[in-house]
Amino acid sequence: MRVALELPQSVLFCCDHNAVRSPMAEGIMKKFYGEDTYVQSAGIKNDLEIDGFAIAVCQELEVELSRHRSRSFEEMEKWGDHLSSFDLVVALTPASRREVQDLTRYYHLEVEYWPISDPCGIGETRDARLVAYRQSRDEIIARLTARWGDPRG
């Protein structure tokens, strides 16, 4: 049995567009572990709005994502959330991992890579797409609970 690690004071989840995986991770972490940790998300680019399927599968867990506004690393910095202020950055895609490693090479912070599958474009029907998005959501939940324990105690 793994012992859960103590929650960091601040966590940033990142992916390519801040439209699917990183907003799901941000919302689920906030739901599971409350307000004890400052949690944000960002993408390499901000060229997409929050994905409707991501909203739907998180709503099944009573995680509200419909008000999420996508943002890039650059916008995050402009708004005062500097990468150096986070204790932990979790990259969810290979591209975001490379970007974070490049942007944080001079910072003293922890960077982890959680390879979460990309549900975008998978499935021909709404039900098949929801299955793919649920899989990504559940991968995030498995990583969160493996890292910080069952939120129900």
For residue 128 the two structure tokens come to 């098949």
Record the pTM. Answer: 0.91
Q: Residue 153 — very low, low, confident or very high, per pLDDT cuts 50/70/90?
A: low
Strand partners, 111: 89
CA gap 30, 116 in Å, rounded: 18
Question: Has residue 11 got a pLDDT over 90?
Answer: yes
Residue 150: per-residue pLDDT: 86
What confidence tens digit (pLDDT) does each residue in 118-150 have? 998 887 888 999 999 999 999 999 999 999 998
Q: Residue 31 — very low, low, confident or very high, per pLDDT cuts 50/70/90?
A: very high
Q: Could you give phi then psi for residue 112, rounded to 5 degrees?
A: -120, 155
Residue 66: per-residue pLDDT: 92
Q: For 10-147, give the CATH class.
A: alpha beta
Contact 43, 16 (CB under 8 A): yes
Higher-scoring residue by pLDDT: 83, 1: 83
